[in-house]
Structure 1
Amino acid sequence: MNVVMKRFSIIILTAYITFLSACYKDKGNYDYRDINEIKISGLAAGYAYVLGTTLHIDPAIQMSQKDLDTAAAAYYWILYKDESTIIDTIGRSAVLDTRIVVEPAVYTLWLRVVDKATGVTYKANTKVTVSTLFSIGMLLIGTDNNGNAEAEMISMVKDTIIFRNILSSSGLPGLRDPMSCMFFGGTSTNPNIARLWVMTKSGSYFLDRLTMGGNTSRKFANICITNEIANKEAITPVVGMPQVRDKGGATSGGTNAWGRAVITTDGDIFATHSLLNGGDYYANPINREATDFSKRLKAAPYFWYAIANYGSSPSMMWYDTDNQRFMVYANFVAANSTAPADVAGDIFSWNLASQGRTLVYGENSRNTDNGSTNGNSFAIVKDNTGAHYIYKFYATGTAPQKRDLYTVSPIAIDFDKADFYAFSSKRTVIFYSVGNKLYAYDYNKGLEKFYQFPELSADEITMLKFDTQIDFSTNSLYVATYNGTTKGRLRRYNVGSNPNTVDITPVPGADWDGMIKIKDMNWRGVN
């Protein structure tokens, strides 16, 4: 067969096969229809949930086939921790109405919608922050009608609620001489790092953060290992640092604020680096010098440090009452403190004894003058003539920086008799009180002025404190008063910004009465 005939035969064969294929009847199913596509919307970016209440979420479920209703799909609301660990399926309907029983934390909530006809799954997610009514608000400590220490909380998780009798119903023994109620540990949820302390001169304990319940085993003696103090059970912290620095509950030093310290009723200072020590655990006191290590120096009840951020290598200052001088403790790993050096020509000396002066009062602020980004600190000192001075300094690092010195003018009536002082972070103004009288003194050099506020009330003033934690940019002053009939009262005032005068304006809705005789307040921003 020649090549032409061969090619012709192939063409004939191909045509025949094509003909046979055309005669075959395809019996397959080609009845195509559009599937029901589902769109989920209406979920907020996050939800705040308080334990004991109902979590309600009503998403918008849209189906492409309009004749179908929500019953055409199955619904699964699935709660996750850490994006991958399934906690529970908390709902099986299009609208979620349920109570959650989980540990307070931030969770991811997925809504999975499954088309029953096709099995195709559609999904969307949101965040759920679970908290208790004790998670956010102002912690108050003071005394009740009988002079016993008592704590209250103005809860601000949702609606403002006042929780009373926290100490007396905590299960702890009766306590006296309240000092502070404060939250340590920043935003950490580790119970060995985050602690809520109630501090009094007769005993100090850390409470259960969720219930505010107490237990006498939760005391400093059980988180301290020391071979220097024979009666470890008697160690009673009354001052702590660092404080909460913002509304979200963070503290100076960042997320977990590893460096922290307390001052006890005996004037000892215990410090720890909770990351290196595996938690909030303490060893021997650090109120000593390397050159005379066996001698502990009695500390005044004040810490000075930069509230906004005390640094990646944290440091703080304290006051040695034995030698009338400031001291520095750096890094929170050292076994001792050091005396900061003076330089010739300095505006003041860290060694007050060298100038015949002693400490009266100390406070930290959010003031950023002279480049003090993370907040200046203040001290009021006096000399043996009765003259008073204001020291302003930046308490950071091993060489804290002196910012200014002010001599208090005699126009500041009864400044030396003040029960309480409070420094404004926004102005050169210090408020102080004597009995039921509230005064303000503008210490701006050459422009000193004195103000009094007789319109406040006739009640005894029991606390003055500027907000350095919640909304410090507003320059808000909290004033606590007390009388035997209407009991304690807490009010918030905004201090005006006019440099030519000092005025205070009550903040609407920030006035609470029927309370304890308030000694101190601190913000709590996390569980």
Structure 2
Amino acid sequence: MKKEMKIYHYILALFSVVLIGSCSKDLGNYAYESINELNIKGVSNEYFVRTGIDTLRIQPTIAASMDESDTSRYSYLWILKTGSLTFDTIGHYRNLAYPVRLNAVPYDLFYRVLDSKTGVTWIANSKIIVSTPYSRGFLIMGEDEEGFAEAEMLSMLTDTVHIKQILSKSGLPRLREPVSMVHTGGGELYVRLWAMTKTGSYYFNRATMEATASNNLSRLAYVSEALDAETLHPVVVAPQIRTAAGAIGSSLYRAMITQGGDVFASVPLFMGGDFYNNPVNRIATAQEVRIPAAPYIMYPINSMNSIMWYDTQNNRFMNFASIGVGTASTVLSDASGSIFPWNQPAGRTLVYAENTRNTDGGSTNGNSFAIMKDADNTCHIYKFYANGTNPAKRGFYTIKSTATDFHKADFYAFSSNRSVVFYAVGNRLYAYDYNPGFEKNYTISNVGADQITMLKFDTQIDHLTNSLYVATYNSATKGTLRRFRVGTDPNTVELTIQDNSTWTGLVKVKDINWRAVN
């Protein structure tokens, strides 16, 4: 064994000497040559484009370390990865001009520059984010010159594009009495895009904006009672989008009210999709009687776990706090000495309701407001937190006589950040500060003389800016939408028009809603 080990060590030592000698003989035998190095600039990490609208244009700057004037030595490839193992060459020139006709998903883009003299390829890579023309921007519902409902969009990705005639080109029959166009947000399986009118409401293919008359609530409602198909069309859907990125107030719950006043609420996750059981606009002691609801769903915008609705037959606020398991709504009781009643006195009716981002009284997720009117046209404001099984009353305000024509208003809009409600009568815009002891009415003069067709505060993109959208119309210039900012001086109410926030040539705007994703 010892002899074998000695032989092993002699062989190892001899091998090492030979190796060292070989290395020493090679020293200085390599000849290094500089190669032409390319520095590619002007190719961004990401590009955002709209399919069917945008042309992807990229003009790289290429700096060469050698022979920079000879561009004939280069060949170019723009390669798009369209699947896990699928690639498509979309360009053979130094610069790219590619009309985008792709599905609305992310892609990888590879830029290859081959130096034919050295055989070396230089690369630059990007991510292409493709959206539809309709993926991000304002959905507009309104009325065209012939009185038909029409939808448009201010598509906002890299720039603003006004897309017209969405509803009339959708494949649906012509509709009238426009209400709204709403993208629901939420998980991919449960997303809907609704076009709602009083003569029919339908959900759309979100990429093509096409629809058929069979795309209606009847296909989604699995009920055990007869419902009138003529009125089984949603006119309000909750929760709404609440951020510029498209987040909503609940990814678990959804609710809607139909033209006929039926209230549906569902948990799409449990239902296996955006489906609905029997409407819940009834009370437990009379399950066979459906009570027609006003077209308002009251809930905290920032987090919806229950809803309130208004009983138009008995003039009372109703609560439904058991979405997904309950079959009936609850009649709210009024404690002695409460600041306003859930159950209205004779002659008092609901005029308007709105959800806001107002947090007064500890309403973290947003208070709701209702305007009530007595038989003598005296109006009141109710402020409340429509949350859970015991909604909280936050404020009661009686409108002073100084509020010119308040009871005649066509539209109302509540600021989330100030004790101010704006209202429009024809072409006149007013603001009323309802702060007790400091009530004051303002006439707003910088909105022009055209008919006002919509007022709406921003509660979807950035509610902290206190932006008010005002839509107007005249037959010559058509619809105009402008964004104003409400001032913060508590001693006055002023509107300031915002830069790059005026859009003209629109339909007669009825409603606008934000859409952030496909």
Q: Same fold (TM over 0.5)?
A: yes
Residue 336 of structure 1, aligned match among 308, 328, 334: 328
Matched, 1:222 2:219: yes
Partner in structure 2 of residue 298 of structure 1? 292
Asked if the contact 2:79/2:87 (under 8 Å) is kept, the reply is: no
Give, in angstroms, the shift of residue 149 of structure 1.
1.4
Matched, 1:511 2:512: no
Q: State how far apart, in whole Å, the 1-side matches of 2:488 and 2:209 are.
A: 39
Asked if the contact 1:57/1:96 (under 8 Å) is kept, the reply is: yes
Q: TM-score, normalised by structure 2?
A: 0.85
Matched, 1:251 2:252: no
Q: State how far apart, in whole Å, the 1-side matches of 2:232 and 2:177 are.
A: 15
SS in 2 for 1:375: coil
Q: State how far apart, in whole Å, the 2-side matches of 1:21 and 1:521 are.
A: 81
Q: State how far apart, in whole Å, the 2-side matches of 1:20 and 1:350 are.
A: 97
Partner in structure 2 of residue 391 of structure 1? 382
Partner in structure 2 of residue 287 of structure 1? 281
SS in 2 for 1:473: helix
Residue 440 of structure 1, aligned match among 409, 425, 431: 431
Give, in angstroms, the shift of residue 394 of structure 1.
1.9
Matched, 1:413 2:415: no
After superposing the two structures, state which structure 1 stretch, 357-366 or 52-61, moved more.
52-61
Asked if the contact 2:195/2:204 (under 8 Å) is kept, the reply is: yes
Give, in angstroms, the shift of residue 380 of structure 1.
1.0
Q: State how far apart, in whole Å, the 2-side matches of 1:497 and 1:339 are.
A: 39
Partner in structure 2 of residue 55 of structure 1? 56
Give, in angstroms, the shift of residue 200 of structure 1.
0.8
SS in 1 for 2:331: coil
Asked if the contact 1:340/1:398 (under 8 Å) is kept, the reply is: no
Partner in structure 1 of residue 202 of structure 2? 205
After superposing the two structures, state which structure 1 stretch, 215-224 or 298-307, moved more.
215-224
Residue 349 of structure 1, aligned match among 341, 351, 359: 341
Give, in angstroms, the shift of residue 321 of structure 1.
1.7
Q: State how far apart, in whole Å, the 1-side matches of 2:42 and 2:424 are.
A: 53
Give, in angstroms, the shift of residue 456 of structure 1.
3.2
Unaligned runs of 5+ in 1: 1-6
Q: TM-score, normalised by structure 1?
A: 0.84
SS in 2 for 1:361: strand
Partner in structure 1 of residue 158 of structure 2? 158
Partner in structure 2 of residue 265 of structure 1? 259
Give the direction of change, closer, same or farther, for the CA distance of 1:54–1:459 in structure 2 (3 Å limit): closer
Give the direction of change, closer, same or farther, for the CA distance of 1:388–1:231 in structure 2 (3 Å limit): closer
Q: State how far apart, in whole Å, the 2-side matches of 1:303 and 1:516 are.
A: 26
SS in 1 for 2:151: strand
Q: State how far apart, in whole Å, the 1-side matches of 2:87 and 2:267 are.
A: 33
Q: State how far apart, in whole Å, the 2-side matches of 1:120 and 1:134 are.
A: 42
Give the direction of change, closer, same or farther, for the CA distance of 1:109–1:397 in structure 2 (3 Å limit): farther
The residue identity in structure 2 corresponding to 1:446 is: G
Give, in angstroms, the shift of residue 197 of structure 1.
1.1
Give, in angstroms, the shift of residue 449 of structure 1.
0.6
Give, in angstroms, the shift of residue 323 of structure 1.
2.4
Residue 491 of structure 1, aligned match among 482, 488, 493: 482
Asked if the contact 2:484/2:498 (under 8 Å) is kept, the reply is: yes
After superposing the two structures, state which structure 1 stretch, 107-116 or 355-364, moved more.
107-116
Give, in angstroms, the shift of residue 396 of structure 1.
2.1
After superposing the two structures, state which structure 1 stretch, 481-490 or 407-416, moved more.
481-490
Q: State how far apart, in whole Å, the 2-side matches of 1:482 and 1:428 are.
A: 28
Where do residues 73-88 of structure 1 align in structure 2 (5 Å cutoff)?
Answer: 77-79=79-81, 86=86, 88=88
SS in 1 for 2:464: helix
Partner in structure 2 of residue 4 of structure 1? none
Q: State how far apart, in whole Å, the 2-side matches of 1:206 and 1:139 are.
A: 14
**Could you list the per-position Cα deviations for residues 56-87 of structure 1 after superposition, in whole angstroms to 9, with x for gaps in the alignment?**
33456677x64688857875634366xx5656
Asked if the contact 1:330/1:398 (under 8 Å) is kept, the reply is: yes
The residue identity in structure 2 corresponding to 1:79 is: K
After superposing the two structures, state which structure 1 stretch, 124-133 or 175-184, moved more.
124-133
Partner in structure 1 of residue 140 of structure 2? 140
**Could you list the per-position Cα deviations for residues 231-282 of structure 1 after superposition, in whole angstroms to 9, with x for gaps in the alignment?**
44651111111222122222222xxx34222211110012222222222222
Give the direction of change, closer, same or farther, for the CA distance of 1:21–1:179 in structure 2 (3 Å limit): closer
Give, in angstroms, the shift of residue 422 of structure 1.
0.6
**Could you list the per-position Cα deviations for residues 99-150 of structure 1 after superposition, in whole angstroms to 9, with x for gaps in the alignment?**
4432213344455778889999886654322112222222222222222212
Give, in angstroms, the shift of residue 92 of structure 1.
6.1
Asked if the contact 2:78/2:109 (under 8 Å) is kept, the reply is: no
After superposing the two structures, state which structure 1 stretch, 106-115 or 462-471, moved more.
106-115
**Could you list the per-position Cα deviations for residues 260-319 of structure 1 after superposition, in whole angstroms to 9, with x for gaps in the alignment?**
222111100122222222222222112122232222121110011122332xxx222111
The residue identity in structure 2 corresponding to 1:352 is: Q
Give the direction of change, closer, same or farther, for the CA distance of 1:401–1:124 in structure 2 (3 Å limit): farther
Q: State how far apart, in whole Å, the 2-side matches of 1:356 and 1:24 are.
A: 106
Give the direction of change, closer, same or farther, for the CA distance of 1:19–1:244 in structure 2 (3 Å limit): closer
Give the direction of change, closer, same or farther, for the CA distance of 1:19–1:218 in structure 2 (3 Å limit): closer
Q: State how far apart, in whole Å, the 2-side matches of 1:167 and 1:151 are.
A: 5
The residue identity in structure 2 corresponding to 1:260 is: R
Where do residues 190-201 of structure 1 align in structure 2 (5 Å cutoff)?
Answer: 190=188, 192-201=189-198
Q: State how far apart, in whole Å, the 2-side matches of 1:20 and 1:344 are.
A: 102
Q: How many residues align?
A: 503
SS in 1 for 2:423: strand
Give the direction of change, closer, same or farther, for the CA distance of 1:345–1:35 in structure 2 (3 Å limit): farther
Partner in structure 2 of residue 463 of structure 1? 454
Asked if the contact 2:78/2:96 (under 8 Å) is kept, the reply is: no
The residue identity in structure 1 corresponding to 2:127 is: K
Give the direction of change, closer, same or farther, for the CA distance of 1:98–1:29 in structure 2 (3 Å limit): farther
- The percent of aligned pairs where both chains have the same amino acid is 49
Asked if the contact 1:376/1:393 (under 8 Å) is kept, the reply is: yes
Give, in angstroms, the shift of residue 442 of structure 1.
0.4
After superposing the two structures, state which structure 1 stretch, 474-483 or 421-430, moved more.
474-483
Partner in structure 1 of residue 271 of structure 2? 277
Give, in angstroms, the shift of residue 164 of structure 1.
2.3
SS in 2 for 1:291: coil
Matched, 1:240 2:237: yes
Give, in angstroms, the shift of residue 509 of structure 1.
3.2
Give, in angstroms, the shift of residue 372 of structure 1.
2.4
Q: State how far apart, in whole Å, the 1-side matches of 2:426 and 2:21 are.
A: 109
Q: State how far apart, in whole Å, the 1-side matches of 2:90 and 2:321 are.
A: 49
Partner in structure 2 of residue 3 of structure 1? none
The residue identity in structure 2 corresponding to 1:162 is: H
Q: State how far apart, in whole Å, the 1-side matches of 2:263 and 2:293 are.
A: 7
SS in 1 for 2:218: helix
Give, in angstroms, the shift of residue 424 of structure 1.
1.0
Q: State how far apart, in whole Å, the 2-side matches of 1:299 and 1:20 are.
A: 93
**Could you list the per-position Cα deviations for residues 324-365 of structure 1 after superposition, in whole angstroms to 9, with x for gaps in the alignment?**
222222353133322345444432232224x86322210011
